[in-house]
Amino acid sequence: MSHLAFVSLAYGATALTIAALVGWVLIDQRGRRAELAELEARGVRRRSAEKAGADHVQ
Amino acid sequence: MITSAANYVSGLANPTRFLNAVAFVLPWMVGITGVLFAVGLFMSFQAPEDYQQGMTVRIMFIHVPSAWLAMMCYTVMAVSAIGTLVWRHPLADVSAKAAAPIGAAFTFLALVTGSLWGKPMWGTWWVWDARLTSVFVLFLMYLGLIALYRAMDDPARAARVSAIVILVGYINIPIIKFSVDWWNTLHQPASVIRLDGPTIHASMLYPLLVMALAFTMLFFTLHLMAMRNEIWRRRVASLRRQAARSVQPS
């Protein structure tokens, strides 16, 4: 293999790994947001949020 | 000023306040990371070729930052482990757990790019010398910690056990750093972080430092995002428990 091939492989592997890492974080983020939205839609809210909401209504 | 900074940091123990702070800083961090990578990559490919290594020296601009980040990430986990065991900071365990996969990725990159640099320069992809082996052990430790976090259902117990394992495993970090001084290795000794200053010419040192800064910003950006995801994951679990309790007959 030429030196260019080694350099290209190294930069390609780095780009792929970083893209996979960013993709994993973003997919995880989307999943958690969807779960929180689903719970919110079912009316399940944190007690502190419910209390803040009740205080706001009063 | 120190008191107000300390108050601010302790205020971030409140996850909601932490999430608000992350939402504010994250767009800036993403932008700065992008700019640093653009400048760093431009400088890396403008840097002159080495008189011995030729163009393979450009692998240094991604290999060295990856290796630094592999060790820095574990140091962040060790500080977080102290936060878990000593101060019982609510976000310390979140920080350690979120950092583990990121550290594993940077260690993997250090091993792969090092191998791709080693083959044309040393004539071999791999050798079981002290530096390479200790970094490989670090990679296995990251994988072990990820498995440990996933193996336990009780987050509080997982936090304590993992914190102890992280602190015991920290012994590997000075071994990695000084392995090239303590033993005969194929890997070259330190050429940037040295008591007598860097031995690299400025034309290669500056691109390396900019790339190291870019990798560091990338780490902190991804770490904050992963911490936010972990807080949300725990919030979802807590809300599900709360919902299950509310439907149980009394």
ipTM given for this complex? 0.87
What pLDDT is recorded for position A57?
40
Provide the Cα torsion B233, B238, B239, B240; round to 10°: 90
Spell out the domain ranges in chain A: 20-58
Q: How far is Cα B116 from Cα A3, in angstroms, rounded to an integer?
A: 10
What is the mean predicted confidence (pLDDT) over A21-40? 94
Residues of B in contact with A46 (CB under 8 A): 235, 238-239, 242
pLDDT at A15 over 90: yes
User: Two tokens at B25?
Assistant: 């800083």
pLDDT at A18 over 90: yes
What is the mean predicted confidence (pLDDT) over B102-123? 95
What pLDDT is recorded for position B2?
67
Q: How far is Cα B95 from Cα A6, in angstroms, rounded to an integer?
A: 35
**What is the per-residue pLDDT across B7-26, written as a single tens digit (0 to 9) for each?**
666 667 788 888 999 999 99
Query: Are A6 and B56 within 8 A, CB to CB?
Result: yes
User: Two tokens at B11?
Assistant: 């205020």
Q: Which residue shows structure tokens 């936090």?
A: B159
Residue B190 φ/ψ, nearest 5 degrees = -60, 140
Residue B126 φ/ψ, nearest 5 degrees = -155, 145
As a whole-number percent, the residues of chain B with pLDDT over 70 amount to 94
Residue B161 φ/ψ, nearest 5 degrees = -65, -45
Q: How far is Cα B51 from Cα B116, in angstroms, rounded to an integer?
A: 19
Residue B121 φ/ψ, nearest 5 degrees = -95, -40
pLDDT at B213 over 50: yes
On whether the CB atoms of residues A9 and B58 are closer than 8 A, the answer is: no
What is the mean predicted confidence (pLDDT) over A25-35? 96
For an interface test with A, the pick among B42, B73, B106, B116 (most A C-beta atoms closer than 10 Å) comes out as B116
On whether the CB atoms of residues B122 and B188 are closer than 8 A, the answer is: no
Q: In this complex, is the C-beta atom of A56 within 8 Å of any C-beta atom belonging to chain B?
A: no
Query: Are B102 and A10 within 8 A, CB to CB?
Result: no
Q: How far is Cα B95 from Cα B163, in angstroms, rounded to an integer?
A: 11
pLDDT at A48 over 80: no
Residues in CB range of B197: below 8 A, 6 or more apart? none
Q: How far is Cα A11 from Cα B58, in angstroms, rounded to an integer?
A: 9
Query: Are B116 and A22 within 8 A, CB to CB?
Result: no
What is the mean predicted confidence (pLDDT) over B63-86? 96
Residues of A in contact with B228 (CB under 8 A): 29
What pLDDT is recorded for position B242?
84
What pLDDT is recorded for position B183?
83
Query: Are B239 and A13 within 8 A, CB to CB?
Result: no
Residues in chain A: 58
**Most confident range, picked from A53-57, B6-10, B108-112, B195-199:** B108-112
Between A55 and B144, residue with greater pLDDT: B144
**What is the per-residue pLDDT across B214-244, written as a single tens digit (0 to 9) for each?**
999 999 999 999 999 999 999 998 888 888 8
Residues in CB range of B146: below 8 A, 6 or more apart? B100, B101, B104
Residues in chain B: 250
φ/ψ region of B14 (left if φ > 0, alpha if ψ in -120 to 50, else beta) reads: beta
Q: For residue B109, give the nearest of A11, A1, A7, A27 by alpha carbon.
A: A11
pLDDT at B120 over 50: yes
Between B246 and B42, residue with greater pLDDT: B42
pLDDT band for position B115 (cuts 50, 70, 90): very high
pLDDT at B1 over 70: no
User: Two tokens at B55?
Assistant: 């163009």
Query: Are B226 and A25 within 8 A, CB to CB?
Result: yes
What pLDDT is recorded for position A56?
43
Q: What residue type is B244 in one-letter code?
A: A
What is the mean predicted confidence (pLDDT) over B106-124? 95
Residues of A in contact with B55 (CB under 8 A): 3-4, 7
CA B250 and chain centroid, separation = 48
For an interface test with B, the pick among A4, A7, A22 (most B C-beta atoms closer than 10 Å) comes out as A7
